[in-house]
């Protein structure tokens, strides 16, 4: 059974389980592009590479994946293959993925071509979506050059099961206040085991506990200007030899 999503009067998706919204009030594509892609140095960092792997800790409505795919597709100097690995305990229905991409509040400073492409790619993702049982599922797009590995299950368990080395990490999920397991020391340790020196990391949260845990794991952490209405966002680079 798919995770229920409540759509508020302003078109925003809300999670009854966590009593939290799925994305920034500035819009999901604006958040994906401004917080996660920019925070990880994309698209610049995948240029000239054969393969680039993104690890994400909360798939949600899929907008980070869709925006990354759209940016990869639009980049003439993109890497040959994009591998997007994401963990999600509660997958939503395909119809909610499409509705999220079409939601009227997705404005912010997102450029129109990117937004239009995200909406088109959401239809492709929905067409490949299935009743996702617990476990690891692989979906392929763009003639196999874009692979989505979706690990369905509790975050710590699935991070331990996954075999990947991340070039970039999207540290996402509902707020640490309502979903503490996603941001726990144990979860962050499991995530860090998929990183190597130079792996970049981005998140919308700048919670002190998260920043300190990342520093202890060997990340250089910085606060950066956030996407309104948030004042700050987080950028980090894995540099274990510095610690």
Here the CATH number for the domain that contains residue 28 is: 3.40.50.150
Domain total of the chain: 1
pLDDT at 228: 85
- Domain of 170, in residue numbers: 6-242
State the DSSP string of 81-139. Answer: EEEEEEEESS-B-HHHHHHHHH-TT--TT--HHHHHHHHHHHHHHHHH-----SEEEEE
pLDDT tens string 122-153 = 999 999 998 789 999 999 999 999 999 999 99
pLDDT tens string 21-76 = 888 777 889 899 999 999 999 999 999 999 999 999 999 999 999 999 999 999 99
pLDDT at 104: 58
Q: Does some domain include residue 185?
A: yes
> Would you say 6 and 166 are in contact if contact means Cβ atoms under 8 Å apart?
no
Q: Does some domain include residue 158?
A: yes
Q: Average pLDDT over the chain, rounded to whole?
A: 93
In total, the chain counts a number of residues equal to 243
Q: Does some domain include residue 215?
A: yes
Predicted TM-score (pTM) of the model is: 0.96
Q: Does some domain include residue 1?
A: no
Does the pLDDT value for residue 181 go beyond 60?
Answer: yes
Q: Which residues contact 107 (CB under 8 A, 6 or more apart)?
A: 26, 27, 30
Q: Over pLDDT 90: what percentage of the chain?
A: 84
Does the pLDDT value for residue 190 go beyond 60?
Answer: yes
Does the pLDDT value for residue 242 go beyond 80?
Answer: no
Pairwise pLDDT comparison (10 vs 162), residue with the higher score: 162
Q: Over pLDDT 70: what percentage of the chain?
A: 97
């Amino acid at each position: 059974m798919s995770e229920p999503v409540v759509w508020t009067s302003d078109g925003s998706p809300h999670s009854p389980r966590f009593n939290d919204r799925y994305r920034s009030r500035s819009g999901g594509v604006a958040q994906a592009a401004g917080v996660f892609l920019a925070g990880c140095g994309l698209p610049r960092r995948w240029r000239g590479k054969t393969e680039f792997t993104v690890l994400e800790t909360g798939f949600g409505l899929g907008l980070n994946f869709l925006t990354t795919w759209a940016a990869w597709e639009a980049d003439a100097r993109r890497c040959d293959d994009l591998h997007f690995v994401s963990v999600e305990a509660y997958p939503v229905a395909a119809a909610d993925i499409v509705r999220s991409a079409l939601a009227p509040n997705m404005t912010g400073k997102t450029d129109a071509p990117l937004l239009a492409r995200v909406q088109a790619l959401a239809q492709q993702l929905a067409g490949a979506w299935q009743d996702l049982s617990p476990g690891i599922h692989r979906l392929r797009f763009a003639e196999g050059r874009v692979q989505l590995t979706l690990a369905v299950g509790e975050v710590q368990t699935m991070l331990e099961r996954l075999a990947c080395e991340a070039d970039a990490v999207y540290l996402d999920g509902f707020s640490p206040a309502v979903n503490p397991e996603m941001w726990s020391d144990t979860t962050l340790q499991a995530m860090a085991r998929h990183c190597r020196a130079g792996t970049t990391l981005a998140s919308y949260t700048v919670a002190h506990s998260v920043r300190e845990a990342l520093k202890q794991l060997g990340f250089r952490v910085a606060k950066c200007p956030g996407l309104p209405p948030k004042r700050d966002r987080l950028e980090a680079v894995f540099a274990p030899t510095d610690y």
